[in-house]
Amino acid sequence: MLERTPALASLLAGADDRLIVTGLGSAANDVAHITDFSPRAFTMDGAMGAACPVGLGLALARPEREVVVVTGDGELLMNVGVLATIAWQNPANLTVIVVDNELYGLTGGQRTATSAVTDLVGMAGAAGIRRTLAVRDAAGLDEARGVLHEPSRDARFILLKVAPGPGAPVRIDRDGNRLRNRFRAHVLGGLGGAA
């Protein structure tokens, strides 16, 4: 199985201009590590179920910018209904990457439904997301990089199946106000700071 942090780093290679919104826990740690704590990454730790809605809102508000949501299987399962809203709005500048280790990593490693019965790619497709892909090996990573970087008329959903294990061993800033303000300043930088 793929190792989470190197696999995600490989997938995000070359996406240095994209805005990134993360889910909590290992997704936030991985992205902070991969981007070297870049202000273009909103490491939204502590808001379970909010990564996809925030990423969707950002993609709709800034259609000229590519937006990537990086979240985990447990976090997405908390708010799986957002897949229908993403499909309905279908912003071509949005890619959702779900790093699926089949565990709730922050609460003790309990198995998620994806370890037994739930197919998140199938759910995304059934919700109406037209461009979906499951990645389980190095060849799949190559295909997923193509999906991430190709021009698209539709939102994209990439499931990255990884081995159980912790994310990058980093300590991220957990001050929500500071993180929000830092990310907002980066996003609005091209607009002269206008709200």
Residues 101-138 pLDDT 10s: 999 877 778 999 999 999 999 999 999 999 999 999 99
Q: Which domain holds residue 148?
A: 4-191
Do residues 21 and 67 make contact, with C-beta atoms less than 8 angstroms apart? yes
Taking 60 as the threshold, does the pLDDT of residue 190 lie above it? no
Does residue 194 surpass a pLDDT of 80? no
Q: Which residue has the tokens 């739930």?
A: 118
**Average pLDDT value for the chain:** 92
User: Structurally, how many domains does the chain consist of?
Assistant: 1
pLDDT digits (tens, 9 = 90+) for 14-46: 989 999 999 988 999 999 999 999 999 999 877
- Stretch 165-193: mean pLDDT: 83
Residue-level pLDDT at 195: 40
Q: Running DSSP on this structure, what letter comes out for residue 155?
A: -
Among 146, 116, 147, smallest CA distance to 132 is for 147
CATH for 138? 3.40.50.970
> For residue 193, what pLDDT is reported?
45
Enter the pTM of the model. 0.94
